Amino acid sequence: MRANISKKQERLLEKIEGCYVGEWVLVEETAWDDQGNPTKGVVVAHGPDREKIVEPTSRLHIQKPGVKTFLL
C-alpha cells in the first residue's frame, strides 16, 4: 500500500494529530513559535506504514531543499 498524498492545506499541529490517529504523517512545517517549535504545517503524506512515507519525504526534500519536516 502506498502512502496517501494529501491536499495542501495549512493546519494547526493539534488538528493534524487528531485527524490521523494511528497513522504516520509527514508534515511540512509552515509556522513556528518564539522558541522555534512548529505550530502549523501542511500534511504531505500519511499512511499506516512508516516505510511508505520514506519516498514522499525524500521527494519533498529534493524538490524543496532546506524544507523543514517531521513525522507524527
| pLDDT at site 1 | 47
CA pair distance 20, 48, nearest whole angstrom: 9
Confidence at 3, pLDDT banded by 50, 70, 90: low
CA pair distance 51, 14, nearest whole angstrom: 24
Q: Can you give the pTM of this predicted structure?
A: 0.82
- Give the tens place of pLDDT for each residue, 29-71: 999 999 999 999 999 999 999 888 999 999 999 999 999 998 8
CA pair distance 60, 72, nearest whole angstrom: 16
